[in-house]
Each structure stands twice: as structure tokens, then as C-alpha cells.
Structure 1
Amino acid sequence: MHFTRPRELVVAGLLGLVLVYVVFQFAYGDLPRIPTLAGITFAILAVIETIMAYTIRSRIKAGRVTSSIGIARSVALAKASSIAGSFMTGGWLAAFAYVFPRRDELVASVFDTRAAVVGAVCSALLVAAALWLEHCCRTPEDDERSTTRGTTG
């Protein structure tokens, strides 16, 4: 498994953007109102992953890593979270792009616009936290090699 590449995040974000926009285009009138705090789960996950990142980082720097399987699981979690967060950021941005211009026509669009903003911000926070966790799981040798070669993984 390799570390997350920017193009993977871009592809996931574009897929989320296109899929959600198409769903809204054809079925917005049949969908229930989006709860304003629907995306807050991503912020909670971002906080958890940030705490994990600082814990793992301090353990690696202190040389107190007892199980590399735990680090590998954290990398897998970080990769999955960054991809999912990117997909959902695209989805929330699509929701925003659909409902924002219609807020004068539809009362539900006003509430859905707020929910889309909260969701997009929280999803972006998850992507950032996941990438930080992934970075903190690198061994010091990986960091030294990437800086000397000028690549990041």
C-alpha cells in the first residue's frame, strides 16, 4: 500500500461532486431536508484522527513503537478517511452548488445551504486530519529519504 496521492483525492472529490449533483438535479424535490449538523460526524472523526496522529508521532520519535501492525492500521484508516472525506467534500460542494442559487425560490434551500457549508468544512477537516495522521505514521527514514530526493512518497 502506498501513501495517498493528490490525484486520488481529486478523483474522489470529482466523483462525489458529479454523483451528488446528478442526484440533486433529478431528485431534490423528493429528498428530505438535510439536517444542519449532518456533516459534524466528519469533524468528530477529524479530532480523533488528529489525536491519534500526535500520539503516534510522539511514540515514533521516542522510539516506543511496540507494534508496527497498529501503525499499519492507522495508515489504512488515514487513507480510507482521506478518500472518504474527499468524496464527501465533493458531495457537499455539489449540494451547495445546487441549493445556493435556489435559496430565493425554495425555503428548504436556505437550510440545505447551511448544512452543505457545515458538511463541506467538516469533510475538508477530515481530509486534513487524515493526511496529517498518514504523515505522522511515516518512519523517520521515510522522511529523510523523501526530503533528500525531493519527493513525498
Structure 2
Amino acid sequence: MKPTRVRDLLALALLAAVITWLLVRTLYGSLPAIPVYAGASLYVAAVIEAILAFVIRSRVGKDEIGEGPGRIHPITVARSVALAKASALVGAASTGVWIGFLVYLLPERAQIRAAVEDTSGAVVGAVAGVALVAAALWLEYCCKAPEDPEDPGEPAA
């Protein structure tokens, strides 16, 4: 499985931002207010994935991956990679959505009072999306299998 490419995540975020901006530009008057905590659930996922990354990284470093007591099963690590890949996509899309809102809201703050109130919720959501992407990429990196050490009797190439 290939690592997640940052450029793919950026492309997804840009696409989501453009689509959101177009929709918000048309429908902003009929949308409900954005609460400050609207994107906060992504912080919880980011923290959980960051903790999982440190646990797996520690276990990989101690060669505690495999079957048996006190070890992490390889399937669990593979599932963690799948979680990381999915979370990176969700985080990128969410970041794009919140950035799309911000692109609309920031210029409108002088004319629309609701835009001032909605901006803080969009900023919290955008930062949460970036945090989730960062945690997901860190988890994916920590799940990599270590390189096989060279045979000490064999000369280095």
C-alpha cells in the first residue's frame, strides 16, 4: 500500500473549498448559524489517532508487533493504516469545506453581522481539519514496517 500523498489531500481540500464557496455564496442567507464547536469533533479524532500513533510507534520500535500477549497484532496495525488513510481524506475535505466558508465570510464581515459571528466556528473547524490530517499522516507513518537491518556478515552495498 502506498503512502498517502499530500498533493492528493491538497487537491481534495481545494475542490471542497471551491464547491463550498460556490454553495455558500448562493445559499448563505438560508443557512443556520455556525456554532463555535461545529468542527470540534475532529479534534477528538485527531487526539485519538495521535495517541494511537505513539503507541504503535513505541511497539514497532520494541519489536512488539505479532501474535502473543503484550503484542499488537499485525491486523490491528493494518487497520490503523486504513483508519489513517480515511481520516486524512476526511480531514482534508473538512478543511476545504471550512476554508470555503472562510473565503466567503471574511470579505463579508463588514456588511453582514452574521458573517462576523460565523467566522469563529469556521476557524475552529478549519484548524480541526488540519489537526486531523496531521494526526492521520503521523499515524500512517508510525505504522510503517521497519527496514530490515543489514546482515552484519554482509558488506554494505
Global fold match (TM > 0.5): yes
Q: For 1:3-22, what aligned pairs fall within 5 Å after superposition?
A: 3-22=3-22
SS at match of 2:147: helix
Give, in whole Å, the separation in 2 of the partners of 1:62 and 1:77. Answer: 23
Q: For 1:1-150, what aligned pairs fall within 5 Å after superposition?
A: 1-66=1-66, 67-141=73-147
Residues 96-123 of structure 1, C-alpha deviations (whole Å, 9 max, x = no match): 1101111121111111111111111111
What is the deviation of 1:8?
1.2
Give, in whole Å, the separation in 1 of the partners of 2:32 and 2:3. Answer: 38
Unaligned runs of 5+ in 1: 145-153
Give, in whole Å, the separation in 2 of the partners of 1:61 and 1:76. Answer: 21
Q: Is 98-107 or 74-83 further displaced after alignment?
A: 98-107
Q: CA RMSD in A?
A: 1.4
What is the deviation of 1:57?
0.5
Question: How many positions carry a matched residue from both structures?
Answer: 143
**Higher alpha-carbon Rg:** 2
